[in-house]
Amino acid sequence: MIDLLVNWFVKDKENIHDAKVRQSYGRLSGLVGIFCNVILFALKFFSGLMTGAVSIMADAFNNLSDAASSVVTLIGFYMAGKPADLDHPYGHGRIEYLSGLFVSAAILLTGVELMKSSVDKILHPEALSFSVSSVVILVISILLKLWMSRFNYKVGRRIDSEAMKATGADSLSDCVSTSAVLLGVVIAMLTGRNFDGWFGAVVALFVCFAGFSAAKDTIQPLLGQAPDPELVKQIRERVMQEDKILGVHDLIIHDYGPGRRIISLHAEISYKEDILEAHDMIDNVERNLMEEFQCDATIHMDPVVNDDEELNQMKIRVEEAVTEENPEWKIHDFRMVRGQTHTNLIFDLVIQPEELTRAGEIEKRIKDKIHTMDSHFYAVVTVEQSFI
């Protein structure tokens, strides 16, 4: 059924990095969410009126909020697909994250309101009247929400959309909360005991948890989270496929929304390479990265001396000294500037982001350690952090 819907509504479905294709997937997800949730709201609202059960009514308005969330998702994907302009040169892709954040806020607000209603029912319980039709409606709701969860997870993974994954998580949470409501109804029908308010509170807790989880997933990329380690590995491997590139460092991945990445890195090449040939080679690598990872790529060439035995030995000694201080620290751009009275060892030292507050202290420790190794050597250290 899922593949059938995708085939009907999404043209060129495999080209998931194209903005128009992502819009089509977003439109499909939004329409499916609106249609299914409105039907569920109507069924549960009718059942809630007939039985007077706050837990069923709470579940109904949870579905109504989900329908509203699907509308936001629909609008969000449309706006995220707008091309770049003078005011937004990187495009509008992050609107997809903002729409997910708005959905999360709506879910949280719904959860709080449901909890207030449930507490009131716990403190002031009322007589209820359940029927077989109530049970049937709740079972249909659970089955439909399971399908919706699978649908949104599958599409979300296909196009790498946190907003859709969050919607899938919300649908799965709805299955659990509706199951709690169903349990309360069955207990009331079999024993006559009223746990409606308590099960309504359980529903509210699940709704709040779903909202919090969805908010966390959408806020992280907006704050600038570290890129996926697997993506970093793939980029490194792709760049290092070029024989003339000896190493990669200072890799930075900027995320301006799904399918809108900007990659920059430094590629080490031998100082003996012809500059025009090396530049042509770097251009080719940039184009390969753009085609394979659908990104804008900028590569800075770093010429390195790789046939100086003294330099190579000294680099090994410095790396060992740095590792003794902290195995997580790395160095790059190592150079030697020889003089009659002393030799400068120039390099960049990469430390953990949380250690930047001690950058001055760390720099002095490394300088002193190298000078202690051999008083003829002085270190010129640039302390920096990694962005991956």
**Tens-digit pLDDT profile for residues 108-163:** 887 787 788 778 878 877 666 667 787 888 889 899 989 998 888 888 888 877 77
The residue segments making up the domain with residue 352 are 309-385
CB 55 within 8 A of CB 200: yes
Strands 295-304 and 377-385 turn out to be unpaired
Q: Are residues 24 and 137 in the same domain?
A: yes
Domain match, 174 and 259 both: no
Claim to verify: residue 138 and residue 259 sit in the same structural domain: no
Predicted confidence at residue 370, as pLDDT, reads 92
One domain, residues 88 and 205: yes
CATH of the domain at 365: 3.30.70.1350
Please report the DSSP string for 308-350 in residue order.
-HHHHHHHHHHHHHHHHH-TT-EEEEEEEEE-SS-EEEEEEEE
Give yes or no: residues 324 and 285 share one domain: no
- Return the number of other C-beta atoms located less than 10 Å from residue 207's C-beta: 29
Structurally, how many domains does the chain consist of? 3
pLDDT for position 7? 76
Give tens-digit pLDDT for 267-290.
999 999 999 999 999 999 999 998
Give the residue from 186, 208, 223 where a domain finishes. Answer: 223
Mean pLDDT comparison of 30-39, 64-73, 163-172, highest-scoring range: 30-39
Instruction: For residues 216 and 344, state if they share a domain.
Output: no
Residues 207 and 141 in one domain: yes
Residues 218, 98: Cα–Cα separation, whole Å: 7
- 46 and 66 both lie in a single domain: yes
Q: What percent of the chain has pLDDT over 90?
A: 33
Provide the phi-psi class of 250: left if phi over 0, else alpha when psi is between -120 and 50, else beta: left
Look at residue 149 and give its three-state secondary structure: helix
Interval 41-79: pLDDT, tens: 998 888 888 777 777 887 788 788 788 778 877 887 778
Query: What pTM value is reported for the model?
Result: 0.67
CA 184 to chain centroid: 36
Together in a domain, 205 and 283: no
pLDDT, residue 258, reads 67
Q: Is 265 in the same domain as 299?
A: yes
Of 245, 279, 304, the position where a domain reaches its end is 304
pLDDT at position 320 is 93
- Among 166, 191, 223, give the residue marking a domain's end: 223
Shared domain for 196 and 160, answered yes or no, is yes
Same domain for 120 and 236 = no
Contact 184, 125 (CB under 8 A): no
- 82: tokens are 């707008």
